[in-house]
């Protein structure tokens, strides 16, 4: 079974530029998560999708971050414009069921390391 | 109340030693406590998880101890090996919130 795929693996941009990350979850997984992992910290949930609907985006900085999940499968996370403090690893994860009242294993991709100069 | 506090920040043990990583939480609604292992350049991977209806869970060389009254849980790695060198994260969630709250991580180095 293929794992969660993410691209690109690395990205370096100047502040105020835009950047987009792509995630392909494990086939059949209903729930998709985007996390931000700042160096030396644990992952922090940015947004959670159940199929193609948003379940939780309470920690997503909506003035600059946006995300969508096309047809309930792939997802893109965009930052526009980027700030220095956005430098982090952006992790995508998926789980088979997810959603309120359900706890199941989240499978993480390798992440995209973003450096904002 | 949503925080999970993890210690120590880093840990060095000799091969065969038993590193112990501790976590504490405040939110009594949390009822699922997974541990994740992360190698450099990789995403976290689920290692072992526990629910508060048991005080201990073992899977191979990994053991979780859970103290519900103290709101603390810990990971023990028996007969640690150099290949266990990684960063370990505890996490917590409740069925009503489904959101994983991660600790800050512990960087473990097992010397040969």
**Distance between A107 CA and the closest CA of chain B, angstroms:** 7
For residue A26, name the pLDDT band (cuts at 50, 70, 90): very high
Report which secondary-structure segment, H or E, holds A112.
Answer: strand A112-116
What are the residues facing A75 on neighbouring strands? A23, A69
How many CA atoms, within 13 angstroms, populate the side-chain half-sphere of residue A29? 29
Whether A32 and A97 have beta carbons less than 8 Å apart is answered as: no
Q: Exposure pattern of A1-11 as b/e (b: 16+ CB <10 Å)?
A: eeebebeeeeb
Is the sign of the CA dihedral B10, A59, B70, B37 positive or negative?
Answer: negative
Judging contacts by C-beta atoms under 8 Å, the chain A residues touching residue B32 are 103
Rounded to the nearest 5 degrees, what angle is found at the Cα of A97, between the Cα atoms of A91 and A98? 60
| A96 CA: distance to closest CA in chain B (Å) | 13
What are residue A72's phi and psi, to 5 degrees?
70, 20
Write down the pLDDT at residue A18: 97
Chain A positions touching chain B (beta carbons under 8 Å) = 4, 40-45, 48, 55-56, 91, 93, 98-103, 105-111
pLDDT of A9 > 80? The answer is yes
CA distance B49 to A10: 31
- Locate B103 and state its tokens: 């600790």
Give chain B positions within 8 Å (CB) of A1.
none
- Indicate the pLDDT class of residue A105, thresholds 50, 70 and 90: confident
Contact in structure between A48 and A98 (CB atoms under 8 Å): yes
* Proportion of chain B above pLDDT 70, given as a percent: 96
Tokens 């996390």, located at residue? A35
User: So what's the pLDDT on residue A100?
Assistant: 58
pLDDT tens figures, B48-88: 999 989 999 999 999 999 999 999 999 999 999 999 999 99
Query: Which backbone phi and psi does B27 adopt, to 5 degrees?
Result: -75, 110
Judge whether residue B5 has pLDDT over 90: yes
Chains A and B form CB pairs within 8 A to the count of 59
């Amino acid at each position: 079974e293929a794992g969660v795929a993410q691209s690109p693996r690395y990205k370096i941009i100047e502040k105020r530029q835009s950047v987009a990350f792509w995630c392909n979850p494990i086939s059949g997984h209903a729930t998709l998560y985007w996390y931000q992992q700042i160096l030396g910290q644990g992952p922090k949930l940015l947004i959670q999708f159940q199929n193609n609907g948003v379940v939780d985006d309470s920690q997503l900085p909506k003035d600059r971050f946006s995300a969508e999940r096309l047809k309930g499968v792939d997802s893109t996370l965009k930052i526009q414009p980027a700030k220095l403090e956005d430098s982090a690893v952006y992790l995508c994860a998926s789980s088979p069921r997810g959603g309120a009242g359900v706890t199941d294993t989240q499978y993480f991709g390798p992440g995209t390391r973003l450096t904002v100069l | 109340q949503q925080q999970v506090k993890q210690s120590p920040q880093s840990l060095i043990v000799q091969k065969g030693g038993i590193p112990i990583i501790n976590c504490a939480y405040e939110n009594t609604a949390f009822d699922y406590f997974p541990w994740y292992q992360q190698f450099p350049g990789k995403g976290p991977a689920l290692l072992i998880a526990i629910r508060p209806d048991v005080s201990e869970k073992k899977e191979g060389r990994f053991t979780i101890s859970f103290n519900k009254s103290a709101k603390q849980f810990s990971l023990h790695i028996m007969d640690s090996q150099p290949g266990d060198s990684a960063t370990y994260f505890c996490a917590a969630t409740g069925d009503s919130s489904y959101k994983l709250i991660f600790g800050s991580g512990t960087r473990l180095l097992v010397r040969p």
